[in-house]
Amino acid sequence: MLDERKLAVLRAVVEDYVSTNEPVGSKALAERHNLGVSPATVRNDMAVLEEQGYITQPHTSAGRVPTDKGYRLFVDRLSQIKPLSAAERRAIETFLAGAVDLDDVVTRTVRLLAQLTRQVAVVQYPSLIRSAVRHVELVPLAERRIMLVLITNTGRVEQRVVDLPDVVEDDRIAHLRAVLNACLDGCRLSRVPETVADLQERLPEEDRPVAATILSVLLETLVDRHDEKIVFAGAANLAGDFSVGLREVLEALEEQVVLMRLLGEANDSAALTVRIGSENPYSGLRGTSIVAAGYGSGDNELARLGVLGPTRMDYPVTMGAVRAVARYVGQILAGS
């Protein structure tokens, strides 16, 4: 149905359009990519490609522009992910290695990605639910008030102030802390609810009300944060590009929920996901594409990151950058 040359034409159209941002005509195309055929032939091929919905013309007597379907084919079959240069890799590595805590890792990552791709970068904080408890801390603040601090093996720290039903002496708190840690240390967060239920029963009668309060806050913390935190950077890269509805995109970026879905709803693997234009779930983003990947330490995916840009983006380069950054972040998180 689409012979080799027609695919080459499509590839050429995409590449030229991406680099010039102008509809590409048969003549220019035949010249720049030495296809070995005349413009007239290219025109015929283009007519076919248009009929099949891979390209379109903004108006009669203009060049052709790829459609979402055209980009899709390009990404799936006509292009190869372009690896970063050695220099870029080194720069990434040293930049990320300088991070002092989780917040810093995420902030640096999102900026890095934005700068690297010259687009909007989006990074989700590592999910709590897939990580494990490293430590639980109870800090007395006042007679009937303590602070609960939860530290995970991904370096994340959650804190909550807890108002207690009774006055509790410090050493009972200390004891409770010891018990909690004995039970929960190393426990996968997804398993915490069961473990906690067990624990509850094994406590002495007198400690139960206090423990119940604390534990309910602990559980709440886990559930609450199921809607994960997401940050973005590089919005300035959108300015000056009128092919996207700027206002709508900015609005979407500030909606955690939308962003969440964009990155891919807990996708199967850590593989690269590309959503092109109308393929993505939010109508305000009809003119934009998202390239995302999962990242994690070791084999389990912790969260996702990606970039968002006009559908007319350089997919091979962008995909290369996203993949590379995802890998490095994974390494950094594993090492800390």
Question: Given the rule CB under 8 A, which residues bind a second copy?
Answer: 100-101, 111, 134-135, 137, 139, 141, 147, 149, 151, 155, 157-161, 224, 233-236, 238-240, 246-247, 250-251, 253-254, 336
Q: Residue 1: which H helix or E strand, with range?
A: none
- Residue 37 vs 102, nearer CB to a second copy: 102
Least distance (Å) between residue 268 CB and a second copy: 31
The item of DNA, a second copy, none sharing an interface with residue 226, based on CB under 5 to 8 Å by kind, is none
Considering CB under 7 A, how many residues would be counted as binding DNA? Answer: 25
The item of DNA, a second copy, none sharing an interface with residue 24, based on CB under 5 to 8 Å by kind, is DNA
Tell me the three-class secondary structure of 2-38, residue by residue: CCHHHHHHHHHHHHHHHHHCCCECHHHHHHHCCCCCC
The item of a second copy, DNA, none sharing an interface with residue 25, based on CB under 5 to 8 Å by kind, is DNA
Q: Which of 69, 81, 99 is nearest to 2 (CA)?
A: 69
E strands, the chain, are 55-56, 65-66, 120-124, 133-142, 145-152, 157-163, 230-233, 273-276, 288-295, 303-310
Other beta carbons less than 10 A from residue 278's beta carbon: 14
Give yes or no for residue 34 binding DNA (CB under 7 A).
no
> Could you tell me which stretch among 24-32, 99-107, 131-139, 259-267 binds DNA (CB under 7 A)?
24-32
Give yes or no for residue 47 binding DNA (CB under 7 A).
yes
Q: Which of 137, 138, 182, 132 is nearest to 152 (CA)?
A: 132
Q: Which of positions 51-70 make contact with DNA (CB under 7 A)?
A: 57, 59-64
How far is 110 from 87, CA to CA, in rounded Å?
19
- Residue 64 vs 177, nearer CB to DNA: 64
Among 14, 18, 46, 150, contact with DNA (rule: CB under 7 A):
46
Concatenated DSSP letters of 121-138: EEEEPPPSTTSBEEEEEE
User: Which residue in the block uniquely carries the two structure tokens 């997919």?
Assistant: 315
Q: Tell me which residues touch DNA (CB under 7 A).
A: 5, 23-28, 36-41, 43-44, 46-47, 50, 57, 59-64
